[in-house]
Amino acid sequence: MEKSPPDIVLAFAALLDVEDLLNLLATCRRIRALSAEPALWIGCLQRIECVQMHPVTSRARDFAALPLAELKAMAHRAARILRNLASPSPRLERILRIAGALKDGHFLIPGTGLLLTNPPGRVDCWDVVQARVVASVAHERLRIFGMSCVWSGSRVLFSAAIIESERTNDVVLEAIAVVCVDLKDREKIRITTVVSPRIIHATRQTPHFPDVFITEKLMGIVCHRGTFTMEAVGLLCWPIDASQPVSICRYPFPEDQRSILSFDAASGILYGLVPAPELNTAVSVVHSFPLRALSNGGIQVDPSAPVASKTLVHPDDNVHNPPGDGGWNSWSSAGFAATCSADAQARFGVRAVAWRSQHFQRQYAAVGAAQRRLLTSLTFLRAGPGTGEAHAADALVFAAPAGDGNHVGGYSGRYLVFSSGGPGLAGQGSLGLGIARLPERPGGALRIARFSGGPDGIDLNARDIRVRAVDDILGLVVLWDRKQECANIYSYSGDWGRGCLRGTPHDKCVVC
């Protein structure tokens, strides 16, 4: 290898995973000199995303246009994350604590190190590395809804709404809105809002349910029960233009089922994922429906267009049977799914991540007591590149205390951070805080890494800890501490900001 021509070495290096490549570059001075070749790192990053299926950027980019230092940094960061998650005891490091933030108002901008918080009356943008607010905008009654965001040039768009009033189980919307974060100049980040004309008291029963979609030019949101004066369920569509009205469309999917929405702007197809517990069955359903574009940028529902539906069978669903001598009663509950952006679907092949919970109870007449158990399955729904087709794959089943636990997916959809606090039941131990990674190829086993505890003394297995946001590009997790009423931002990138893969400073690293 040492005497091989450089082009042969580069061709060989293109076949290596990032960890193996970095080890190769550390073997001798002649091979180490190849680290100055941009083509080496471009090939490495392409392999990380296309073969190892790990995200290195939040949008499709021309790697050839990036400076050499940035190419190296992205490769080293991916190597640190993959290495840390493959270790027997993955390490977490708390890098920021935000007190007083709204418990549901945390939104990471993937791949940027920026976090939006939405406390009452304003939106703040935090730089989690510098641990400071870098931009802020005041806006009364603004509520960010969507967990996912979309890029539009140098701007990042989040779906939101202006709340007219809020009750125990629903909110009344005065207008829908988009929060825009302009990252053209990282030294002068700007937050602006675009608000629709007033709408007629649309009501949402579930403020945080993801029946919302957003593209560069269109936003849609579902309103339930008494929406306007026409139907019980309506689809509001708006071309993200303050001068354009909100279109009121007939909701195309079954009104008695809550669907998680995803809109493919290229094909004009609206998808609705209905998790299994919503149907009280062991399968989920994906509905699809064509939407007609209007000249003003809005959309229209064609009443004559048919709704296509596809059943997704959850793998290993027979695992939802507790061992023992029988006598169990069971029922499904809490189902949820997070959809991925169209860009992420095209690059990483995942349309959504869904979970369903199965409760089991066995009554002991002699002692008048009941034994309870909860099993939860996480199902990654793959999407064929460019086809919109989805099918169920790769289920993770684990035990958790009833009523505990939550799960948040990353940008790529290939990572899911989950928590299951408190002691296990029926002899089952608690999972605590962990991360599930979808295998590179269909049919492989899910890779599970469990974070056993925080280095700062925070018990990551506590019932009061909830996952709120995940950035699987930079390896960031936002955890909400209900007891302390604060948000803690953790990094699992292995060595956040302190050096390279082997823990050495950048200026002393042999491959930097």
pLDDT score at 242: 93
Q: Does position 127 have pLDDT exceeding 60, yes or no? A: yes
Strands 142-144 and 132-138, sheet pairing: unpaired
How far is it, in rounded angstroms, from Cα 242 to Cα 260? Answer: 26
pLDDT band at 347 (very low <50, low <70, confident <90, very high): confident
pLDDT score at 112: 92
pLDDT score at 105: 78
pLDDT score at 376: 61
Contact in structure between 483 and 58 (CB atoms under 8 Å): no
pLDDT score at 188: 93
Q: Which of 89-103, 156-170, 380-394 has the lowest mean pLDDT?
A: 380-394
Q: Does position 180 have pLDDT exceeding 70, yes or no? A: yes
**Arithmetic mean of pLDDT, 342-363:** 68
Residue among 486, 442, 445 at smallest CA distance from 464: 486
Question: Which residues are 136's β-sheet partners?
Answer: 124
pLDDT score at 183: 94
pLDDT score at 262: 79
How far is it, in rounded angstroms, from Cα 495 to Cα 398? Answer: 30
Q: Does position 506 have pLDDT exceeding 70, yes or no? A: no
Q: Does position 273 have pLDDT exceeding 90, yes or no? A: no
pLDDT score at 190: 96
Q: Does position 391 have pLDDT exceeding 50, yes or no? A: no
Three-state SS at 354: strand
Q: Does position 326 have pLDDT exceeding 60, yes or no? A: no
Query: 329-342 burial, b if ≥16 CB within 10 A, otherwise e?
Result: eeebebbbbbbbbb
Tokens of 129: 């590395």
pLDDT band at 423 (very low <50, low <70, confident <90, very high): very low
Contact in structure between 400 and 372 (CB atoms under 8 Å): no
pLDDT band at 68 (very low <50, low <70, confident <90, very high): very high
pLDDT band at 47 (very low <50, low <70, confident <90, very high): very high
How far is it, in rounded angstroms, from Cα 77 to Cα 160? Answer: 32
Cβ neighbours around 304 below 10 Å, total: 4
pLDDT score at 323: 46
How far is it, in rounded angstroms, from Cα 441 to Cα 438? Answer: 8
Q: Could you report the per-residue pLDDT of 183-230, keeping only the tens digit for each?
A: 999 999 999 999 999 987 567 655 455 678 888 888 988 886 554 444
Instruction: Write the DSSP assignment of 356-421 as a string of letters.
Output: EEEEEEEEETTTTEEEEEEEEEEEEEEE-TTT--EEEEEEEEEEE-TT--EEEE-TTSSEEEEEE-
How far is it, in rounded angstroms, from Cα 120 to Cα 163? Answer: 11
pLDDT score at 472: 92
pLDDT score at 317: 46
Q: Could you report the per-residue pLDDT of 431-481, keeping only the tens digit for each?
A: 567 787 877 776 666 777 888 655 555 566 556 778 888 999 999 999 888
pLDDT score at 355: 62
Give the CB-side neighbour count of residue 474, counting CA atoms within 13 A. 25
Question: Which residues are 373's β-sheet partners?
Answer: 360
**Arithmetic mean of pLDDT, 48-74:** 89
How far is it, in rounded angstroms, from Cα 196 to Cα 326? Answer: 56
Q: Which long-range contacts (CB under 8 A, 24 or more apart) does 401-404 make?
A: 401/374, 401/425, 401/430, 402/359, 402/372, 402/373, 402/374, 403/374, 404/374, 404/463
pLDDT score at 204: 67
Q: What is the pTM of this model?
A: 0.83
**Arithmetic mean of pLDDT, 324-344:** 59
Contact in structure between 145 and 162 (CB atoms under 8 Å): no
Radius of gyration of the CA atoms of the chain, in A? 24
Q: Does position 398 have pLDDT exceeding 50, yes or no? A: no
How far is it, in rounded angstroms, from Cα 321 to Cα 358? Answer: 9
Q: Which of 133-137, 159-163, 192-196, 324-328 has the lowest mean pLDDT?
A: 324-328
Three-state SS at 148: coil
Write down the domain spans for the chain: 6-86
Place of tokens 């952006």: 341
Burial of 146 (0-12, 13-18, 19+ CB in 10 A): buried
Tokens of 265: 């702007």
